[in-house]
Amino acid sequence: MAWGPYPPQFAPQRRDTIKQLINHDFDHQRRGLRRTSWAFQGRFAFRFLFRFRSVKNCETIVPRSRLNDLNVVGIKTSRLELMKQQKAKQKLGFCHYRKRDHRFCKEEAGPSNLCYWHDPDQAKDNPKVKEWLEGWAKLGRSMEGFALSRADLDGLHLLGHGGCDARDADLNHASLKGAHLFHINLDGANLFKADLGQANLNNAVLSGTDLLRANLSEAKLDHVKWGSKFKQDQRIKQANKAGKPEEVRQIREELEEVYRHLKQVHEQNGHFLMAGQFSHREMVVRRKLMPLFSVQRFTSKLVDLISGYSEKPSRVVLSSMAVIFMCAVVYFFTDVQGAQGHIGYTPGLSLSQWVERLGDCIYFSVVTFTTLGYGDMTPRGWAKAVAATEAFGGAFGMSLFVVTFAKRMTR
Ligand SMILES: [Zn+2]
C-alpha cells in the first residue's frame, strides 16, 4: 500500500495521534477492511489542528467506513453523545432539569432523575409547600420550571429581590387566589385554568404564557408585560409546520377566548388602553379564522388597515394622508384647471415647475378630501370621478376619525 507523505504543517509533537490513525488503518488492512479514506484523514487533521479540545473528548476514532455499522450519523454526533454520557455520569443523583441558561438544577433527584420541584408526578399536596416556596423566594432562588400543577397556593406571598423567577413553571389548575406575586417573571409558564382571582400581579411578566380559562377577575394587573405572543402562538407555528390546519383552527379559537377574557378583565379594572389593545388582537385572530379568500376577510383586513378596528386613530390619519397623496398623483396626470390653466403634467417641465405643480395637486386633493371646495381649481374629464370619490371618502374618513378618537377617549 502506497502511503503519501503527511502534510508538512503537522508538528512532531502531534504525531502520536497521527500514529493512532495509521495503526487504525493497519488494523483494518489486517482484517481485510478498506483503509481510512484520505478525506476522513484530512477532516480529522483539521479537527486535530484547530479544535484540539474537542478531539480530546473523543475516546475512539471511528473511520467513516464503519460509521454506518455503529449506527451513528457522523463523528460529531458520536462525540456529542459521549459528552452527554459523561455529564450524566457526573450528575448521577442530581436533578436532570435543564434551565434556559443550559445549567442543570442542583437539587437532589428522586428515582425519576428529577427533584421534588421539577417532577410533575410528585403531588404538591404537602401543606408546607407554600411555606417552602416563600422561603425559596426570600433567598432569591430561581423557581424556573417548577411543576406546581393543582397546588393549593392561596395567599402565597412571594417576596424576592427584584421579583421572583418562575419562568416555564407549570401552574395549571393551581389555586393562587389573593396571592402576592408582585414583579414575578412567569414567561412561558403554563397557567391553564389557574385561579389568579384577586392576585397581585403588578409589574409581572406574562409573555408567552398559556392563559386559557385562567381566572384573572379582580387581579391587579398594573404595568404587566404581556409581550406580543402567548403560548398558543408557538403552538400555531408548530401546527402550521406540521401541516395540521384543523389543529391551527382549534388553537386560534382558544387564543380568541384568551384575548376576550383579557379584554373583559382590563375593562373591569379600568385599564381601557390595554382593553383596546386586546380587543384589536381578538379581532385579528377572529379574522384569521375566516376563509382565506372571502369578501368577509378582505373587508375585515381593510377595516384593520384603515382604523385598526376603530381602536387606532393614528391609522385613520395615516390612511387619510395616503389617500390624499395618491389622489394628488392622479390629478397630476389627469386634467385639473387652475387660474393659470392646466396644473398637471406637461412635457418639458423644469424641476421647480414639477414641485410647484405637484404642490398645487396636493392642495387640490386636500381641499377635495375635506370637502372644502374653494372652487379655485376645477377637475375635468376623469379627474371629476376621482374628485367625487375622494370627497365621499373624505367625509367618511373624518367621521371615522371622530368615532375612533371619541371611543378611545371616552372609554
Ligand atoms: Zn430540579
- End-to-end CA separation in angstroms for the chain: 88
Q: Ligand 1 centre and the CA of 154: distance in Å?
A: 23
Q: Ligand 1 centre and the CA of 350: distance in Å?
A: 76
Residues 335-385 have pLDDT tens digits of: 899 888 888 888 888 899 899 999 999 999 999 999 888 888 999 989 999
Average pLDDT, the chain: 83
Q: Ligand 1 centre and the CA of 117: distance in Å?
A: 6
What residues contact 19, with CB distance under 8 A and at least 6 apart? none
Q: Ligand 1 centre and the CA of 104: distance in Å?
A: 8
Q: Ligand 1 centre and the CA of 195: distance in Å?
A: 25
Residue 328, all three cell numbers: 394628488
Q: Ligand 1 centre and the CA of 274: distance in Å?
A: 36
pLDDT at 5 over 60: no
Helix (H/G/I), strand (E/B), else coil: 210: strand
pTM: 0.71
Q: Ligand 1 centre and the CA of 383: distance in Å?
A: 73
Q: Ligand 1 centre and the CA of 242: distance in Å?
A: 31
Q: Ligand 1 centre and the CA of 115: distance in Å?
A: 4
Q: Ligand 1 centre and the CA of 223: distance in Å?
A: 31
Q: Ligand 1 centre and the CA of 132: distance in Å?
A: 15
On whether the CB atoms of residues 125 and 148 are closer than 8 A, the answer is no
Q: Ligand 1 centre and the CA of 96: distance in Å?
A: 7
Pick the CATH number of 313-409 from 1.10.287.70, 3.40.50.300, 3.50.50.60, 3.40.1000.10: 1.10.287.70
Closest CA to 163 of 144, 190, 191, 177: 144
Distance CA 159, CA 182 (A): 8
Q: Ligand 1 centre and the CA of 103: distance in Å?
A: 11
Q: Where in the chain is the domain with CATH 1.10.287.70?
A: 313-409
Q: Ligand 1 centre and the CA of 178: distance in Å?
A: 27
pLDDT at residue 111 in the model: 83
Residue 212, all three cell numbers: 386559557
Q: Ligand 1 centre and the CA of 144: distance in Å?
A: 9
pLDDT at residue 106 in the model: 83
Q: Ligand 1 centre and the CA of 105: distance in Å?
A: 5
Q: Ligand 1 centre and the CA of 140: distance in Å?
A: 16
pLDDT at residue 93 in the model: 78
Alpha helices in 31-74 (DSSP H): 38-50, 52-56, 64-67
pLDDT at residue 22 in the model: 58
Determine the average pLDDT of the residues in 188-205: 95
Q: Ligand 1 centre and the CA of 119: distance in Å?
A: 7
Helix (H/G/I), strand (E/B), else coil: 71: coil
Q: Ligand 1 centre and the CA of 180: distance in Å?
A: 24
Question: Which residues in 298-387 belong to E strands, given as ranges?
Answer: 335-338, 341-342, 378-380
Which pLDDT band, with edges at 50, 70 and 90, does 107 fall under?
Answer: confident
pLDDT at 220 over 80: yes
Q: Where in the chain is the domain with CATH 2.160.20?
A: 129-296
Q: Ligand 1 centre and the CA of 106: distance in Å?
A: 7
Q: Ligand 1 centre and the CA of 99: distance in Å?
A: 9
Residue 348, all three cell numbers: 418639458
Helix (H/G/I), strand (E/B), else coil: 316: helix
Which CATH architecture does the domain made up of 129-296 adopt?
3 Solenoid (2.160)
Q: Ligand 1 centre and the CA of 123: distance in Å?
A: 15
Neighbours of 211 (CB within 10 A): 27
Q: Ligand 1 centre and the CA of 5: distance in Å?
A: 54
On whether the CB atoms of residues 34 and 28 are closer than 8 A, the answer is yes
Residues 266-310 have pLDDT tens digits of: 999 989 999 999 999 999 999 999 999 999 999 999 999 999 998
b/e sequence 367-403, b meaning 16+ C-beta within 10 Å: bbbeeeeeeebebeeebeebbeebbebbeebeebbee
Q: Ligand 1 centre and the CA of 146: distance in Å?
A: 8
Q: Bigger pLDDT: 54 or 106?
A: 106
Q: Ligand 1 centre and the CA of 213: distance in Å?
A: 28
Percentage above 90 pLDDT, the chain: 56
- DSSP for 163-226 reads S-B-TT-B-TT-B-TT-B-TT-B-TT-B-TT-B-TT-B-TT-B-TT-B-TT-B-TT-B-TT-B-
Distance CA 262, CA 275 (A): 7
